[in-house]
Amino acid sequence: MKQRILGLSKFVYLAVYLLIMVFPLYWIVITSLKPQKDIFSFPLKYWPERFTLDNYVHIFKISKFHIYIGNSLLVAITSAVVVLVIAILSAYVLARFKFRGHRQIMLAFFATQMLPGFVALAPLYLMMSSMNLINNRFSLVLMYTVILIPFSTIMLRGFFQRIPASLEEAAMIDGCSRWSALVRIIIPVMLPGIASTFIFAFVQNWNELFLAVMFIDNDALKTLPVAMNSFILKFDVDWGAMSAGAVLSIIPTILLFAFAQRFIVEGLTQGAEKG
C-alpha cells in the first residue's frame, strides 16, 4: 500500500513537472498559429478553433527574416567550426602534457567562466570600431570563437583524458607523427565528444544576443536574436509576429537538442567532473 502511494505521488509529481516544462513552448507555438484577432480575444483559446500560418507569412513580409536566418546560420556554424579546430589542439595538449604554466593556463580558462564578462563589452566595442569591424559579421565570428575557446577546451580535455594515451603511442611507434596520430587515430574515437562540443558551440552562438546588438545595427547583417530584439522595441504589441519569430528561432536548437541530448549531457557532466 505504502509502495503504491509512493509510486502514485512520484507519477503525479513527474506529470505536473512535465506540464510546467512543456506548457510555455506549447503556448508560444499555439499563439503563433492563431489568427491575429483570436490572439487578443476572450475567452483565451487553449486549442485554437482555426489554425493559420498568417503570422509566419507576415513576419517574412514585414522584415528580412530569411536574411536574419542566413546570418545566424553563417555566424554560428563558421565560429563553431573554428572553435572546434582551435580547442581540439589546446585540449589535446592540456590533456596529454605536463609543462610549466599548465596550471596557470587551466586557471585562466576557468576564470573566464566565472568573471562578469560584460566588463569587457565596452572595450570590445571600442576595439571593434577601431578595427572597422562594426557592422561586419566577422566581428561576431571572431568573438563567438574567443568566448567558446575556454569552455570547449575544458570539455574536450575531459574527453581526451578518457582515451588511453597508449592508443596514439602505439601509432607513433609504428612511425606516425603526433599530428597524424591525433588526426587519424584519436579524433575518430572522439567523434561523439566532438559532435557534442560542436552542437553546444552552435547553440551558444545561435542564441547570443548582446555582442550582436553592440556590433551590428545594419538590418541586412542582423542575426536572429538582434532582429527579435528590435521587433520587441518596434512592434511590442504584435505578439502574432513575435511568437512566429520566436518559434522559428527555437526550432533549430530544439532539433539539435533532441538529436544530441544524450551526447551533450554526457559531455557536460563528464567534462565538468574531470575539470
Partner 1 sequence: MRKQRVFILSGLIPALLLVLAFTYYPFVKGIVMAFQEYKLFDLRSVHFVGLDNFKAAFNDPKFIMALQNSGYWVFFSLILQFLFGLTLALLLKKQFRGRGVYQGFVFYSWALSGFLIGMIWKWMFNSQIGVINDILLHLGLIHERIGFLSDPKWAMISVIIANVWYGVAFFAIMLLAALQSVPSELYEAAVMDGASSFRKLWNVTLPYIMPTIIATTLLRAIWIFNDPTIIYGLTNGGPAGSTHILSSLMLDKIIYGGDYGAASAIGIIMIIILLFYTIFFLSVTKAEKAGDF
CB 271 within 8 A of CB 158: yes
Number of residues near partner 1 (by CB under 8 A): 88
Min dist CB 105 to partner 1, Å, is: 7
Q: Does 210 bind partner 1 (CB under 8 A)?
A: yes
**93-122 binders of partner 1 (CB under 8 A):** 93-94, 97, 99, 105, 108-110, 112-122
- Kindly provide the b/e burial profile for residues 23-39, where b requires at least 16 CB atoms within 10 angstroms of the residue's own CB: eeeeebebbbbbeeebb
Q: Does 214 bind partner 1 (CB under 8 A)?
A: yes
Cα distance between residue 210 and residue 230, in whole Å: 12
Q: Does 225 bind partner 1 (CB under 8 A)?
A: yes
CB 241 within 8 A of CB 231: yes
- Closest to partner 1 by CB, 62 vs 121, is 121
- Closest to partner 1 by CB, 74 vs 250, is 250
- Closest to partner 1 by CB, 55 vs 145, is 145
Q: Which amino acid is at 153?
A: T
- Which of 182, 198, 213, 181 lies closest to 264, judged by CA? 198
Task: Compose the 11-50 pattern: x for residues touching partner 1 by CB under 8 A, - for all others.
Answer: --xx--xx-xxx-xx-xx--x-------xx-xxx------
Cα distance between residue 21 and residue 151, in whole Å: 27
Min dist CB 92 to partner 1, Å, is: 6
Cα distance between residue 92 and residue 193, in whole Å: 13
Cα distance between residue 143 and residue 78, in whole Å: 12
Q: Does 183 bind partner 1 (CB under 8 A)?
A: no
Q: Does 215 bind partner 1 (CB under 8 A)?
A: no
